[in-house]
Structure 1
Amino acid sequence: MMLTMSIFIMTLSFLMMMMASLLSKKTHIDREKSSPFECGFDSKSSARTPFSLQFFLIAVIFLIFDVEITLILPLIISLKLTNMLSFMMVTIAFMLILLFGLFHEWNQGALNWEY
């Protein structure tokens, strides 16, 4: 009894999802929507157009600071488990490494937006 009821409910939900999928489809075909996404470039033009190095540098800087956040959050959570001196030493060392990396990128001109 319970098994047949479960099969009936699964079949009914499957059919409802299929109907919702078929009814929600767009029939209008758009050139932009049907072309593959290539980082904002027009895929119908030449593939040999120059790639902006500025875009790449912004993406790398974003990834660095994104990883920074994922490493800082566990530090804050582990504050209750460690003593204050070791916590401050690890946090200061981590922040100094990040600041030296930021200053290095600044000196190399990676943050210069004028070219």
Structure 2
Amino acid sequence: MSINPYVPILFLFALGVAFAVVSVLVFGFIGPRRYNRAKLDSYECGIEPSPVAKGGGRVPVKYYVTAMLFIIFDVESLFLLPFAVAFDRLGLFALVEMVLFVLTVFIAYAYVWRRGGLEWD
């Protein structure tokens, strides 16, 4: 009798999900319930939270620029890792494609840097 090679993976996945669910449920029952104004207030990196208008406050564009730069960095890493793993089997075409990709990302970073997107005021 042969075991399916995916059974251990499914078992570990189910074990991880069960641990997460049980941890959240147990914390809800045994966790402390001492709420105060400071705990219920929004947290802004150690700075006193500023009052927000009723319809929501204005968020500086720099937050979104930083988020977009992070996403670009993640996508770049996502594309570079498989290339690095299979570099010897891909050949010259893949090397040229990856150089063009990295060059494009570098040009985008240089543009953002020259426009002042990496400076935090």
Name the residue aligned to 1:77.
85
Match of 1:93 among 100, 103, 107: 100
Pairing partner for 2:113 from 87, 90, 106: 106
Q: Secondary structure at the match of 1:109?
A: coil
Q: Which has the larger radius of gyration?
A: 1
- In structure 1, stretches of 5+ residues that fail to align are 1-16
DSSP 3-state at the match of 2:86: helix
Q: Which amino acid aligns with 1:71?
A: F
Distance 2:64 2:99 in 1: 29
Q: State how far apart, in whole Å, the 2-side matches of 1:77 and 1:69 are.
A: 12
Residue aligning to 1:53 = 61
The match for 1:26 is 32
| Corresponding position: 1:66 with 2:74 | yes
Structure 2 partner of 1:3: none
Q: Which runs of 5+ in 2 are unaligned?
A: 1-21
> What secondary structure is seen at the aligned counterpart in 2 of 1:110?
coil
TM-score (norm 1): 0.60
The normalised TM-score by structure 2 is 0.58
Question: 2:112, 2:28 → 1: CA distance?
Answer: 51
Give the distance between the partners of 1:91 and 1:65, measured in 2 at CA. 15
Q: Percent identity?
A: 20
Larger relative CO (CA 8 A, sep 6+): 1 or 2? 2
SS in 1 for 2:57: coil
* Residues 112 and 42 (structure 1), Cα distance of their counterparts in 2 relative to 1, 3 Å cut: closer
